[in-house]
C-alpha cells in the first residue's frame, strides 16, 4: 500500500458499480466526476456501459488525482476507449488534491454521475486539508467521508453517486454529521455490503458500495450482501426507509433478511433511563493502573480485576482468579484509581471487541461478585451492565438474550465495526424486564445447551 491510499478497484466491481446508474441523463452531454481517479477504471467502465445504451451522447469526464503517472494512464485509457468506440469524450484532468482544490467550486450542482473509490485514512488535525474542509463546513475525520461529501455537493438535482468505501460510516457519532448531510440532501437508494474483507488484495477492510441520489426522496432502500465478488448476492432485500434509518442519529441498519419483530420489547437504553441499570465501558486501563500477578502481594490493598480472558463462555460466568502464571488478577488500590472501582450485586459483562467472522457477535457473561461490599475493577476491553438491585432472573434473562441470535442480528445490522460501543448497546431492542424474568428461569437449561436460547426466547415472546 502506498501512503496515498492507492487501492485500485477490481474490474468486476468497477463494472458492477457502473451498472448501478440509472440511464436517464437530462441532456445530450453527460457530465461525470471521478475524484481520486487512479488509472480511471471507474469512469472507463461507466462510459463503456453508457455507450451501450445510446450512441448519441457526448461525455465530459472530470478527473482528480494526485499521482501524476496514474492520472496520465487514466487519460490515455479514456482516450483509447473514446477512439475504440468512436465516442465524443472531453477529458478534464486535474493533478490536484481534490479536497484542497479551489477549482471544484466551479462544479457546484454540475455533475450527472459521480463514481468514486476514494482514499481511506484519517485527515490529520491542523493539516491544510483539514483547514480547507472546515472552510467548506465539512466536519469529518476520514478522507473517504470528505471525498463523498464534497462530491455529493457537486451533484445536480437527481444526479447519482456510486461509491465504494469502508462501511464504518453506517453508525457511530463520528460519522453522524456525514450521514445527516447526505440524508438531508438526498436518499440512499442502494447499499451493497461485502462480507469478505479481502476486496483490495492484501489490505483487510470491510467495504460497502453505496448508490446515492441527490434531492430525491425515496421510501425504501435496496440492501444487498455478497462475499468478495458482486455476484451472486447472498441476500437482496428491499427494506423500508424507516426500518433502515434511525431518525435519532441517522444510523443505518444493514437488513439482510426479513426482520423478526418480537413482542414486548424495549431498548436497553430505556432500562438505563429507568434507573434499573447503569451501562458503561470498563474504566480501568491495564497499562495505566498498577496491576499485580496472581500471587497476591499481601502488603498492598487490592481488588479483583476482571479482563475479557476471565469470561467463561461455557458457564456464561466469570472465571476469577485465573491460576495461570503471570496473569494479573488484582488491581492495587491507589488514590488515582479509587473512583474507577465499582460495587453492585450483579453485573452482565460484554466483550468490547468481536471478530467479524464470529457467528455470535456479542459475548456476554453474568458476574456475581462474591462479596458485594468489595469493589471490583473492570478492564477497558469490557462493557458493563451494572444492576442496581438483586434482580437475578432479569440479569440472567438479559445475559441469555445478549447471547442470542436476535442480538447478533441486531448488532450486524447496526454496526460497521468490530468494536461494541456503549452507544450500540443502548440501541439494542431487548425484552421488557418482566419478560426477561421469564427467560431467566431457563438459565440452567441455557448453560447446558446454549443453542436452545433462540427458541426459548421466540416461544416466550412471540412475533408481532
Ligand X SMILES: C[S@@+](CC[C@H](N)C(=O)[O-])C[C@H]1O[C@@H](n2cnc3c(N)ncnc32)[C@H](O)[C@@H]1O
Residue where the block lists cell 453505496: 210
Binding test (CB under 6 A) with ligand X, winner from 98, 175, 212, 330: 98
Which of 32, 42, 393, 398 touches ligand X by CB under 6 A? 42
- Candidates 15, 25, 119, 397; binder of ligand X (CB under 6 A) is 119
Rounded to 5°, the CA angle 356-361-366 comes to 145
| Cβ-contact 291, 322 below 8 angstroms | no
Cβ 133 to ligand X shortest distance, Å: 11
Q: How many residues bind ligand X (CB under 6 A)?
A: 22
Among 60, 72, 97, 249, binds ligand X (CB under 6 A): 97
**Only segment of 32-40, 78-86, 236-244, 341-349 that touches ligand X (CB under 6 A):** 32-40
- Output the smallest distance, CB 450 to ligand X, in A: 42
User: For ligand X, what does the binding mask look like between residues 402 and 441, x meaning CB under 6 A?
Assistant: ----------------------------------------
Whether residue 130 contacts residue 99, with contact meaning beta carbons closer than 8 Å, is answered with no
277-291 per-residue burial string, b: 16 or more CB within 10 A, e: under 16:
bebebbbbeeeebbb
Task: Give the interface segment with ligand X, choosing from 37-45, 106-114, 350-358, 365-373 (CB under 6 A).
Answer: 37-45
In the set 15, 18, 21, 36, which binds ligand X (CB under 6 A)? Answer: 36
Kindly state the helix (H) or strand (E) to which residue 395 belongs, with its residue range. helix 392-402
**Near ligand X by CB under 6 A, which window of 23-31, 93-101, 303-311, 417-425?**
93-101
In 20-127, which ranges are continuous DSSP H helix?
A: 41-53, 68-85
- In angstroms, give the least distance from the CB of 129 to ligand X: 7
Q: Measured from the CB atom, is 119 or 282 closer to ligand X?
A: 119
CB nearer to ligand X: give 55 or 76: 76
Helix %, strand %, coil % of the chain (to 5): 30, 30, 40
Distance CA(291)–CA(94), nearest Å, equals 56
**Nearer Cβ to ligand X (28/80):** 80
| Residue whose C-alpha cell reads 465495526 in the numeric block | 417
Distances (CA, A) of 248 to 172, 180, 220, 243, 424: 12, 10, 18, 13, 13
Binding of ligand X at residue 37 (CB under 6 A)? yes
Nearer to ligand X, 114 or 239 (CB): 114
Cell triple for 453 = 436460547
Dihedral angle at the C-alpha atoms of 319, 321, 327, 332, nearest 10 degrees? 130
Name the grid cell of 317. Answer: 460466568
Contacts of 332 by beta carbon, 8 Å cutoff, 6+ apart: 290, 291, 292, 297, 300, 301, 302
Cα–Cα dist 437/182, whole Å: 42
**Which residues, in sequence order, are CB contacts of 98 under 8 Å at separation 6+?**
35, 36, 64, 104, 147, 150
Task: Give the nearer residue to ligand X in terms of CB position, either 132 or 361.
Answer: 132
- Position of cell 440532501? 185
Nearer residue to ligand X within complex by CB, 125 or 314: 125
Minimum CB–partner distance for residue 393 and ligand X (Å):
52
Minimum distance from residue 153 beta carbon to ligand X (Å): 16
Of 15, 25, 38, 431, the one binding ligand X (CB under 6 A) is 38
Pattern of binders to ligand X over 48-87, x per CB under 6 A? ----------------xxxx--x-----------------
Name the DSSP class of 338: G
Q: Which is nearer to ligand X, 71 or 291 (CB)?
A: 71
Tell the smallest beta-carbon distance from residue 144 to ligand X (Å): 9
CB atoms within 10 A of CB 110: 17
Cβ neighbours for 4, distance < 8 A, ≥ 6 positions apart: 66, 67, 119
Stretch that binds ligand X, among 95-103, 206-214, 359-367, 401-409 (CB under 6 A): 95-103
Question: Which residue lies nearer to ligand X by CB, 19 or 336?
Answer: 19
Of the candidate residues 4, 177, 422, 452, the single one contacting ligand X (CB under 6 A): 4
C-alpha–C-alpha distance, residues 406 and 385, integer Å: 18
Q: Which is nearer to ligand X, 25 or 119 (CB)?
A: 119
- Cβ proximity to ligand X, 42 vs 154, nearer residue: 42
Nearest alpha carbon to residue 254 among 425, 413, 422:
413
Number of residues that this document lists for the chain: 464
State which residue, 45 or 224, has the beta carbon closest to ligand X. Answer: 45
Q: Considering beta carbons, is residue 37 or 453 the nearer one to ligand X?
A: 37
Q: How far is the CB of 183 from ligand X (least distance, A)?
A: 24
Cell output for 316: 456464561
Among 20, 99, 148, 155, binds ligand X (CB under 6 A): 99
List residues near ligand X by CB under 6 A: 4-9, 36-38, 41-42, 64-67, 70, 97-99, 117-119
Amino acid at each position: 500500500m502506498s501512503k496515498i491510499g492507492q487501492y485500485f478497484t477490481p474490474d468486476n466491481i468497477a463494472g458492477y458499480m457502473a451498472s448501478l446508474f440509472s440511464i436517464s441523463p437530462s441532456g445530450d452531454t453527460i457530465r461525470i466526476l471521478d475524484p481520486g481517479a487512479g488509472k480511471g477504471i471507474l469512469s472507463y467502465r461507466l462510459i463503456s456501459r453508457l455507450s451501450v445504451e445510446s450512441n448519441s451522447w457526448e461525455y465530459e469526464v472530470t478527473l482528480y488525482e494526485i499521482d501524476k503517472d496514474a492520472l496520465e494512464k487514466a487519460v490515455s485509457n479514456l482516450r483509447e476507449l473514446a477512439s475504440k468506440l468512436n465516442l465524443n469524450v472531453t477529458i478534464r484532468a486535474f493533478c490536484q488534491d481534490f479536497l484542497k482544490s479551489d477549482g471544484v467550486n466551479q462544479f457546484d450542482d454540475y455533475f450527472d454521475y459521480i463514481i468514486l473509490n476514494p482514499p481511506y485514512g484519517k485527515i490529520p488535525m491542523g493539516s491544510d486539508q483539514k483547514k480547507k474542509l472546515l472552510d467548506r463546513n465539512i466536519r469529518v475525520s476520514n478522507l473517504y467521508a470528505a471525498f463523498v461529501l464534497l462530491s455529493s455537493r457537486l451533484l445536480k438535482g437527481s444526479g447519482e453517486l456510486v461509491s465504494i468505501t469502508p462501511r464504518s460510516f453506517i453508525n457511530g457519532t463520528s460519522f453522524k454529521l456525514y450521514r445527516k448531510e447526505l440524508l438531508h440532501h438526498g436518499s440512499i437508494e442502494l447499499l451493497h455490503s461485502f462480507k469478505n474483507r479481502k476486496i483490495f488484495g492484501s489490505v483487510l477492510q470491510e467495504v460497502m458500495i453505496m448508490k446515492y441520489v441527490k434531492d430525491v426522496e425515496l421510501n425504501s432502500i435496496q440492501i444487498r450482501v455478497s462475499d468478495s465478488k458482486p455476484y451472486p448476492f447472498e441476500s437482496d432485500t428491499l427494506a423500508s426507509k424507516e426500518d433502515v434509518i434511525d431518525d435519532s442519529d441517522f444510523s443505518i441498519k444493514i437488513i439482510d433478511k426479513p426482520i423478526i419483530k418480537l413482542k414486548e420489547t424495549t431498548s436497553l437504553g430505556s432500562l438505563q433511563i429507568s434507573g434499573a441499570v447503569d451501562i458503561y465501558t470498563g474504566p480501568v486501563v491495564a497499562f495505566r493502573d498498577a496491576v499485580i500477578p496472581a500471587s497476591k502481594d499481601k502488603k498492598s490493598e487490592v481488588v479483583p480485576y476482571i479482563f475479557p480472558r476471565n469470561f467463561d463462555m461455557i458457564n456464561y460466568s466469570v472465571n476469577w482468579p485465573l491460576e495461570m502464571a503471570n496473569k494479573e488478577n488484582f488491581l492495587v488500590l491507589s488514590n488515582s484509581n479509587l473512583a474507577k472501582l465499582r460495587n453492585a450485586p450483579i453485573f452482565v459483562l460484554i466483550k468490547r471487541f468481536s471478530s467479524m467472522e464470529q457467528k455470535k457477535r456479542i459475548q456476554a457473561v453474568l458476574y456475581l461478585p462474591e462479596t458485594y461490599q468489595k469493589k471490583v475493577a473492570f478492564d477497558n476491553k469490557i462493557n458493563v451492565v451494572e444492576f442496581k438491585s438483586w434482580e437475578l432472573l432479569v440479569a440472567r434473562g438479559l445475559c441469555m438474550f445478549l447471547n442470542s441470535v436476535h442480538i447478533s442480528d441486531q448488532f450486524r445490522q447496526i454496526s460497521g465495526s468490530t468494536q461494541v460501543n456503549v452507544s450500540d448497546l443502548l440501541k439494542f431492542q431487548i425484552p421488557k424486564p418482566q419478560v426477561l424474568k421469564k427467560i431467566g428461569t431457563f438459565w440452567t437449561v441455557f448453560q447446558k445447551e446454549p443453542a436452545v436460547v433462540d427458541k426459548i426466547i421466540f416461544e416466550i415472546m412471540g412475533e408481532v
